[in-house]
A and B are shown apart, each in its own frame.
Chain A
Amino acid sequence: MQITPTLGLLLALSFVISLIALSILIWAIANRQVRTPDQDDARTIFAPGEGAEIDEHDKPHHFDPVRAGIDASSARPVLWLVGAAVFWLIYGSLHGLAASLELHLPDMMTGAAQMTFGRMRTVHLNSVAYGWASQAGLASVFWIIPRIFHTRLRHAGMVKTGIVLWNIGVAAGVAAIASGWTDGLEWLEIPWQIDIILAAGAACFVLPLIQTARARKVHHIYVSGWYFLAGILWFPVLFVIANIPGLHWGIEQATVNWWFAHNVLGLWLTPLGVGTAYYMIPKIIGKPVYSYAVSLVGFWALALFYSQVGIHHLIGGPVPTWLVTLSIVHSVMMFVPVIAVAINQHVTVARNLWAFKESVPLRFISLGALCYTLASFQGSIEALRSVNSITHFTHYTVGHAHLGAYAFVSLVMMGAIYQIVPRATGKQFPFPRMIMWHFWLNVIGFAVYFLSLTIGGVLQGLAMLDATKPFADSVTLLKPYLEGRSLGGGLMTLGHVLLAINLIALAFAKRETTETDNMVAAE
């Protein structure tokens, strides 16, 4: 017990460091706004200085990426990524649906080990996390980064190599898991041998982005760029460190596991989703985001606090008390960046509700952004010890995970796909009504899904905490809610199928002869 106070002090120090860093940041922002030597710098950030040679002075932020040949440079890799992502979305959704059905129809698919729940569920997670969400996010990144930097994408060929490697890696990983070859850690199931392919693929994405960033024609980096450029650095570091075999075991490995598993959400999928929303919302509405100062707080507070929340997955477990508390405190501090992002994104949408009605992609994206706020608030509250006692180990957590990974990240990405693909191909989606169907199937399906698991999860947790109820009660009471989850999941999957149909139809549709067409063809 002698070591605990020392370590406790050390970890308390970590929280204090985070607080001091945040204070300095806010202080700096506040002062800069009053009167600082950086005033000129700030002016160049916000106003005409950037790209003055391209833009006219009265329209400082108008820039035509199509005419500049920027979209043409990135269209191919982006479309490859979108195609692959949607394939994995369908593949993953079907596996998710099957796993969901297996939970209330346990004798449905018992013929082979490949179809058992433990593998179906894991194939689902890995195909949607690494196949769908990551690649859809990367599609946004490669579309948006050249646009905000006013320069064409560098090393597009390398990106394509990365895409091929990445998909080989995901396919091999998923096949390995289905056949029973797994590293056995949640979010890190893909065997480390296959992870080498994925890491190589990821490396092929990093360099072109850095090169494009360095070659940018604007001085200022727009907020989406911070998230993307940070995320694309964070993810490979996390992924490689967490997958080095033989380094950790036992409880130490559990802390590494959850350090990774939460950071892959917080420092990878979240930056992809938030960055995409940060670009798409003002882009579609045609209005700037609310405040540069607030976006700074949002970004740096996310980096400071989100990176240390992982151990809230081990509350009440065999890990040092201090470590758990550290993660709980940081989880709750996540309110700060989430509120900041919420102000910037929701205020912009709320002041322009007409666009919400007009643009279907914006509906996906701003609803997704709203779900980011909800998921994060929910996550912060879920990390409180008293709440966690009930919700941990239950399907409530699964509902929460889907609020983040699906209702936030996936909705934003689907909106981005609907926004990007017509511009990247110069073709319109052949079935615009189907997009509406997709939207409502997802919204209704997810509402059913989320409410089922949230209500069922709380009841399940309360039953497990009540010693006077046999364990069987926590299982039997859950069955109708598991059926509800399958229903919701089925509707969501159907929506994804509509997206795929629209994309395939678009791929085979005739191109309208426009200027864009010539640009794409020229590439």
Chain B
Amino acid sequence: MTDKNKQDPRLPDETFEPYEANRRIPLPVYWIAIALAIWGVVMLVQTSHSTLLADKERAALDKQDVAANAPVGAEPAASGKTVFNANCATCHGEFGTGSVGAVPPLANSDIVKAGGAKLIAQIAMRGIDGPITVNGTTYDGHMPNFASALDDKEIAAAASYVARTFTGAKDGVSAEAVAEIRKASAGQDPWAGGAELAAATPGLPAQPSAPQAAADMVQNADVATLVSQGAGSVWSCASCHGDQGEGTQTVPRLAGLPAAYIAKQLHDFQQGTRENDSMAYVAKALTDAQITALADHYAVMRAPSGARPSLDGDLARGEQIAREGDWSIGVPACFTCHGPSGFGVAPDFPALAAQQPAYVAHQLAMWAGGSRHNSPLGLMAGIGKALNDADRRAVADYLASLPPVPATPKVELTAMRSDAQPAKETTNDQ
């Protein structure tokens, strides 16, 4: 440190070779070493807690999966009620009374009386698409199929519950019989209204004949190419959204969404009011006529559910949010706007049932963050912000567990677009 130590910086004393002085280890080094060692042991203990906790959570998720697939326990009657209330009552009512002019009743229904639990199981397995007459009133029947959402035991329990409780039938239907029905229904279209049901089941009351239009529509050739092969710079729709429009991960299910909703989203992508790079690319290359045709194409598409809970969401919590909302955080029930069972309410409220969970959770997050901002009245932004990460995953997973929406029948499309009502329900909730 003194001047005599100074050396020419480029020519220090070359004869000095380094060595170590003989000093003790400073005390703080001991303290630090001991403190770190204790911390390390604590970490190891914490890790063992963490692995045990993760195992427990995995087991709980597994159980939840099992529960979602087979909640039917020892008492079929009681669990039939549970399945019915969770899946059927949203439309048919808790007491099977239906809804005047829209949803046929089950209680004292002549069809249920004639067909019994077996017929209910057959309907649940394939859904209905066509006019059906119940107790003398003709309904425009659109019922989803529950084949992907419920297993044999659940369908058996619910069908037996309906037949016994609402029509006083003595016999239910066994899970084995439902398994047979499932086999027979595989790959079948929905029942084309009461007429097809009547043809298959003797003893039903007179049914209206099914309109041909509801079955196979002649496809617009342009749209068919667009969907399956793409055109110009546009990729094929099906290459991401799937051959049946069922979606995958953050690519949404399109099958059965309201035509007006699909068209609005495509226009929003085109104009930049909804942000998504890939969809903006596609939408900008589409003409208005193509957008309309594509919207119709997907609106009438029927497809089994391609979604299943996959975000480790808490299904019970998700069901609570979807059916009741959570007023402690200011979130209304999803179903108040998006329709019973999340089947959607045209034109503004898309179906949520069987939607891809990653898509739903991601969109909720995008609303929360402001990257998506094209919902009517900005309603979804508030909801998105109120839900936390776990809630988003919970509700997305629950919605993915629901049966898919019945498609909009082609014949109704024109009518729906012309007298599209403004969303009258939107303001009711807040």
Contacts and interface: CB of A to CB of B under 8 A. Distances in A.
- Whether A and B touch (Cβ < 8 Å) is answered with yes
Interface of A: 1, 4-5, 8, 12, 15, 19, 22, 26, 29-30, 33, 42, 46, 59-66, 147-148, 222-224, 278-279, 281-286, 288-295, 297, 321-322, 325, 328-329, 332-333, 335-336, 339-340, 343-344, 351-352, 354-355, 358-360, 362, 422-423, 428, 432, 466-470, 472
Contacts of B51: 4, 8, 321-322
Given A26-B30, A333-B40, A339-B29, A64 B14 contact: yes
A465 B346 CA distance: 35
Closest 6 CB pairs of A and B: A468-B369, A282-B18, A292-B20, A358-B9, A291-B23, A359-B9
Chain B: interface residue count, which band?
35 or more
B428 interface: no
B17 A8 contact: no
Interface in B356-372: 361-362, 365-366, 368-371
Nearest to A278: B18
A8 B43 CA distance: 12
A297 B17 contact: no
A65 B14 CA distance: 8
B371 A469 contact: yes
Nearest to A291: B23
Contact of B36 (A30, A336, A362): A336
Nearest to B276: A470
Contacts of B361: 467
Contacts of A432: 10
B14 A222 contact: no
12 contacts: A29-B25, A61-B18, A222-B20, A284-B12, A286-B16, A289-B21, A321-B51, A332-B40, A333-B36, A343-B26, A360-B10, A470-B366
A223 B369 contact: no
A283 B12 contact: yes
B392 A467 contact: yes
Given A278-B18, A333-B36, A325 B47 contact: yes
A290 B37 contact: no
B16 A283 contact: yes
Contact of A422 (B10, B18, B19, B37): B10
B23 A294 contact: yes
B26 A294 contact: yes
Interface of B: 1, 5-10, 12-26, 29-30, 32-33, 36-37, 39-41, 43-44, 47-48, 50-51, 54-55, 275, 277, 361-362, 365-366, 368-371, 384, 389, 392
Contacts of B30: 26
Contacts of B275: 470
Contact of A333 (B6, B10, B37, B362): B37
Nearest to A220: B19
A249 B43 CA distance: 30
A290 B365 contact: no
Contacts of A428: 10
A169 to B, nearest CB: 33
Contact of A46 (B10, B19, B44, B48): B19
A449 B349 CA distance: 50
B14 A66 contact: yes
Contacts of A335: 32, 36
A148 B20 CA distance: 12
A329 B7 contact: no
Contacts of A283: 12, 16-18
A224 B39 CA distance: 31
A26 B277 CA distance: 61
A29 B22 CA distance: 11
A223 B12 contact: no
B366 A468 contact: yes
Contacts of A472: 277
